Amino acid sequence: MVIRNTKQRQIIQQVLTEAGRPLSIDEILRAAQRQKPSLGIATVYRNVKDLVEDGNAVAVDLPGEGPRYELAGKGHHHHFRCSSCAKVFETKACIGKLRGLVPRQFEITGHNLVLYGRCPDCLARAKKLIGSRKK
């Protein structure tokens, strides 16, 4: 089966490449539609699925939310989610010392860490609002 290099596929890959952070299906759709409005959501789902299956992208699953996707090959890292704007960012590295969390009889093979808080932009915005609110 020959894989075709369609316009839609190019756009979706480009969107993921340029984002620099994990994107939801909807974020991908909206960004891609700026280049090709007729692009449908099923195409996003199908292409993202293919990307993940081929190992070119990975799903970023945050608890309680639909998955987001980022390009593969970034090494081990985790994510930070801004509670204010809901954007998700990558963290630099990883904590160690997980072994002690669970009895010795458990075998640990992996882990998933998500930090929550506010990103610099939202913090700045909050400060500005406080400065200008009515007294």
Partner DNA sequence: ATCTCTGCAAATGTTTTGCATCAGC
Partner DNA sequence: GCTGATGCAAAACATTTGCAGAGAT
Nearest CB to a second copy, comparing residues 33 and 62:
62
Nearest CB to a second copy, comparing residues 16 and 79:
79
**Residues 23, 68 contacting (CB under 8 angstroms):** yes
Q: Is 78 in the site for a second copy (CB under 8 A)?
A: yes
CB of residue 28 to DNA, shortest distance in Å: 11
**Residues 16, 70 contacting (CB under 8 angstroms):** yes
The site map against DNA for 51-70 (x = CB under 7 A) is: ---------------xx---
Residue 110 interacting entry, from a second copy, DNA, none, C-beta within 5 to 8 Å by type: a second copy
Integer-rounded Cα radius of gyration of the chain: 19
Place of tokens 């539609």: 33
Q: Is 4 in the site for DNA (CB under 7 A)?
A: yes
CB of residue 114 to DNA, shortest distance in Å: 17
Taking the C-alpha atoms of residue 75 and residue 57, their distance in angstroms, rounded to an integer, is 12
Taking the C-alpha atoms of residue 113 and residue 19, their distance in angstroms, rounded to an integer, is 21
